[in-house]
Chains A and B, each alone.
Chain A
Amino acid sequence: GNSVTQMEGPVTLSEEAFLTINCTYTATGYPSLFWYVQYPGEGLQLLLKATKADDKGSNKGFEATYRKETTSFHLEKGSVQVSDSAVYFCALSDGSGYSTLTFGKGTMLLVSP
């Protein structure tokens, strides 16, 4: 079956540091890949997505590239801010009509001033 593996957190960084959160996946076929962000006490928001190999999703300074050869979709940001502190979830959709998403366990990011 499908699965998503994320690096365990929390990831603790100082403001303006470089961020990488690793995500690898196992899936049949050609899944779409997503990063969601969850701020404290809130639901999940779509951060970015990529639908085919070598696509790069980007939003709010975050980027992730769909690497089929390494089955990875690592999240990066060049300079984090305190407001980026949240839990980040990597997810995949197998593209079936039911569109069920398989999520990783989430990685908490804590950014200090």
Chain B
Amino acid sequence: SQTIHQWPATLVQPVGSPLSLECTVEGTSNPNLYWYRQAAGRGLQLLFYSVGIGQISSEVPQNLSASRPQDRQFILSSKKLLLSDSGFYLCAWATGGAAGYTFGSGTRLTVV
């Protein structure tokens, strides 16, 4: 069966520090992968998506970047965190079309 792992579950980081959040998928090949952010009262915002290794599309220009070094690995990074980067970050995968997404359990990031 397909599973998605996301870590860490919670993270408190100082302003200006780097960030690396990792997401891995098991049990499927060549999935579409997504990073979303859920800020308080603002719903879900698509940050990045990837349809293959090394292929990254950015939906919102900001202080974050994403990489896909392996087929089932998706990494969200920042060189210097801002207070506004605080939020709940969700990774998801999909096989396309009407299948919908399967989400990871999320990472709660607090920038202090």
Assuming the contacts A44-B90, A98-B51, A103-B43, asked whether A93 and B97 have C-beta atoms less than 8 A apart, the reply is yes
At the interface, yes or no: B74 with Cβ under 8 Å from chain A? no
A51 pairs with B105, CB closer than 8 A: no
At the interface, yes or no: A43 with Cβ under 8 Å from chain B? yes
At the interface, yes or no: A86 with Cβ under 8 Å from chain B? no
Instruction: Give the shortest distance, in Å, between A40 (CB) and chain B (any CB).
Output: 11
B100 pairs with A93, CB closer than 8 A: yes
A101 pairs with B101, CB closer than 8 A: yes
Interface residues on chain B, size class: 20 to 34
- The proximity string for A residues 32-66 relative to B, scoring 1 for CB distances below 8 Å and 0 otherwise, is 10101000001111100101000000000000000
Question: Count of A residues near B, CB < 8 Å?
Answer: 23
B94 pairs with A44, CB closer than 8 A: no
Instruction: Give the shortest distance, in Å, between B107 (CB) and chain A (any CB).
Output: 10
Assuming the contacts A98-B51, A99-B94, A100-B34, asked whether A46 and B43 have C-beta atoms less than 8 A apart, the reply is no
Question: Which B residues are CB-close (under 8 A) to A51?
Answer: 98
B42 pairs with A105, CB closer than 8 A: yes
Complex CA distance for A45 and B106, rounded to whole angstroms: 12
Complex CA distance for A99 and B49, rounded to whole angstroms: 9
Assuming the contacts A89-B43, A99-B32, A100-B49, asked whether A43 and B106 have C-beta atoms less than 8 A apart, the reply is yes
Binding site for A on B (CB under 8 A): 6, 32, 34, 41-44, 46, 49, 51, 57, 59, 90, 92, 94, 96-106
The 6 closest A-B pairs by CB, nearest first: A105-B43, A32-B98, A43-B103, A103-B44, A51-B98, A44-B103
Q: What are 26 of the A-B contact pairs (CB < 8 Å)?
A: A34-B100, A36-B103, A42-B106, A43-B90, A43-B103, A43-B106, A44-B44, A44-B90, A44-B103, A45-B103, A46-B100, A46-B101, A46-B102, A89-B44, A93-B100, A95-B97, A98-B32, A99-B32, A99-B96, A100-B46, A101-B101, A102-B46, A104-B43, A105-B41, A105-B43, A106-B44
